[in-house]
Every structure is written in structure tokens, then in C-alpha cells.
Amino acid sequence: MSENSNTRVFIGIGTNIGDRSNYIDRALDELRLEDQIWIEAVSSIYETVPVGLQDQPNFLNGVIRIKTAVRPLNLLEILKRIEVQVGRQYRKRWGPREIDLDILIYGDLVLDHPLLRIPHPEMLNRQFVLQPLVEIQPDLIHPSCNQTISQIVCHMATEIETVSRKKKNSDS
């Protein structure tokens, strides 16, 4: 497919057990092997406290910007396959995980499907998603609220509770 038929997609990446940095690197490597997925940018990786279930290790979180011609549900299947290849074992919701890959925004698409909601329904409540998004695409417009991610972050009362931050190499 031509470059013009590709959609810009933002994927959240997170991990909080095992060799966390290795899981992120392996997930990025697997994404790079996909024929119709091109990584454009990777945010810094932020070490953050857990949300939801508090009694678990800190997370490493970031955002990946890709271009792809893969349709949303097929992309979800690819991401779930990569999670398994990297070593994810599915446990309880909001619990510990080796790797987690979530579609945050898929172009300007708004989708409410039993298997997938786009934009990600919790992203506006999660600084560990918004801050990396601002870093790699501050002018990104959230498809549901028609504001840029920078505007949304400016209206939030709190900043990301970051333990540490490490810059990842991006693919340009």
C-alpha cells in the first residue's frame, strides 16, 4: 500500500514485572518486524506508580507513534500476539504484567466495538499516557474532545507521578 493510505496510530506500552526494559525492547523489535507497521517515534519511558491495584511494582510506561495500513481490529490482534511472544501471561485486570500494548488513538477514528474502543477510554485519566503523548506529538487532537493533547494536559490538576524517566531511541 502507498504511504498515503497509512494511518497514524498511537500505542501505549507498559510493563511492571520481570526484566521490564527488555520486555519493552522486545516488543519494539517485534513491531519493527511487522510488514505494514512503521515506527515513527518512541517517547521517553517513564517509571510510574501503579494505577488501580496499588500493591504491585512500579510500571515503565511510554507511547509509540506508528504509521500503518492495518485495520484497527487486525492491529489489536497483532498487538495481542506480540504481547504473548514477548512473554505476557494474562492475570487479573490492572494487575502485574510483563508487557501491555494498547491502541490509544487510531487517526481520527472513534470506535465502540465489543473488543476495542478508540480512543482508549481511560487515556484522558492517565498522565502516564498523556505526558509521553505530549512529548512525541503535542499537537495531536483527541478525536472525541477535539482538543490537543497539550491543551488537555494543561487543564489537568496533577502531573505524572514519575519515579524516573529514560529516553528511548526513536525510528525516524
Annotated catalytic residue within 26, 32, 91, 97: 97
55 is catalytic: no
Distance CA 116, CA 25 (A): 25
Q: What pLDDT is attached to residue 172?
A: 43
* Residue 135 counted as domain residue: yes
Annotated catalytic residue within 8, 102, 165, 171: 102
Annotated catalytic residue within 8, 26, 100, 165: 100
* Residue 55 counted as domain residue: yes
- 4 pLDDT higher than 70: no
97 is catalytic: yes
* Residue 168 counted as domain residue: no
pLDDT 10s digits, 23-60: 999 999 999 999 999 999 999 999 988 877 778 899 99
List the domain range (segments joined by +) for residue 74.
Answer: 3-163
Arithmetic mean of pLDDT, 86-109: 88
CATH of the domain at 118: 3.30.70.560
Annotated catalytic residue within 20, 65, 88, 126: 88
The pTM for the full model equals: 0.88
* Residue 92 counted as domain residue: yes
Cβ-contact 7, 126 below 8 angstroms: no
* Residue 170 counted as domain residue: no
Say how many Å lie between the first and final Cα of the chain, rounded: 19
Arithmetic mean of pLDDT, 142-152: 89
65 is catalytic: no
CA angle centred on 56, ends 100 and 93, rounded to 5°: 50
Number of structural domains, the chain?
1
Q: Indicate the average pLDDT of the chain.
A: 87
108 is catalytic: no
* Residue 152 counted as domain residue: yes
* Residue 169 counted as domain residue: no
Q: What pLDDT is attached to residue 94?
A: 67
* Residue 171 counted as domain residue: no
Distance CA 97, CA 56 (A): 10
Sorting pLDDT into bands at 50, 70 and 90, what band is 2?
very low
Arithmetic mean of pLDDT, 146-155: 86
